[in-house]
Amino acid sequence: MGISNENYSVDKACLIFSRAMSAGRLAHAYLFSGPEKALRERLALDVAGFLLCDHPVPEDAPSGACGRCIQCEKIARGVHPDLLLIYPEGGMIRLEQIRNLQSSLAFSPLVAKRRVCIVFDAHGMNAEAANALLKTLEEPPDRSYLFLTAGSVTGLLSTIVSRCQVVSCSQCPDEDAIRELERAGSYSTDHIQMAITLALGDTDTARRVLNAGGPDLRDAIVDFMGRREGQIARFFDLIHGLSTDRDRLLAAVAVIRGLVRDILVIKGMGTGSRAPSDLRRLLVNKDLFEVLKGIGTALAMEALGAYASWLDTIEWKLERNVNPQMLLEAALVFWIQRRFKGDRDF
């Protein structure tokens, strides 16, 4: 089950989880991903409460839980033994925390029908913790459900993302923000919506994407990524067109991140039993499903995951005005190296 990038409400989430539970399609692991920390954590907690509640009412209650049963009372007091919460310690989730989690999951739920564990800011796991968690995801305990929260799927091991159902917690800007973008230039509604989606709801980034050409910028970057001939010439065209304007560079990084994120999702989820129409709902660039699937065929998950992390570093340096042309070259040269080296490095 995936929940698409759209204006999100807790009651809608609980209704979808309720239907999945009734149909026996509840996955063992979910990743609540989105740029707004408070939103993704609230959704994870509310859905956890809904799954633990003895008398859930997704259609009527704001959180989906009844608020009156013994499970809800224990959750409200912060003493529910079947709701396990893991927070970063010193900015990091460590191996010992994951091992303690695994020890707890070895036993059956104590008072509820199921157990839920939430790992907050899962992108903060160190390598040892991430690898240990991966083993739990590969062999999930019976009647236990694991929720991860993260700002982006690109901050996690691709193998972890591929074993989770991704729940997008990105909210669209409110109507005032949309009107502000409309007033800022002669942008069509379609272009504004595309920019908002690429920016994951961030108005400033959406404005940069629009000012940089929006769909035209995206199409130019996709064309460069997918080329097998004439890629060097296209590389220099992009360098020439983007390197002199910091905002255009930041817009390009946002576009590339959205494209890489989609390739990771496509490769991680695969098509398998999932219909392409269902998979498209998880994508930022839904209209480019077939194109991105083709581009991703020759690329390995590990290389894409490392590149996605490098994009975060590039954005951080761009915001601090560190040699823009060098950073743009670093962001784009990945795709040339991949084509030259072929599949053997992946």
119-129 pLDDT tens trace = 999 988 888 99
DSSP SS3 for 92: strand
DSSP class of 36: -
pLDDT band at 8 (very low <50, low <70, confident <90, very high): very low
204-222 pLDDT tens trace = 777 778 877 777 888 889 9
Strands 29-33 and 165-168: parallel
pLDDT, average across residues 233-240: 86
Cβ–Cβ < 8 Å for 327, 249? yes
CATH 1.10.510.10 fits 10-168, yes or no: no
Predicted local confidence at residue 99, as pLDDT? 94
What's the pTM value of the predicted model, to 2 decimals?
0.52
Query: Six-digit token pair at 330?
Result: 């670093």
Predicted local confidence at residue 346, as pLDDT? 33
166-188 pLDDT tens trace = 776 755 555 656 677 777 666 77
Cβ–Cβ < 8 Å for 268, 296? no
Averaging pLDDT over each range in 21-25, 65-69, 108-112, which range is the top one? 108-112
Predicted local confidence at residue 9, as pLDDT? 47
CATH 3.40.470.10 fits 212-341, yes or no: no
274-298 pLDDT tens trace = 455 556 766 778 888 889 988 888 7
* Strand ranges (E), the chain: 29-33, 83-86, 115-119, 144-150, 165-168
Q: Where are the domains of the chain?
A: 10-168, 212-341
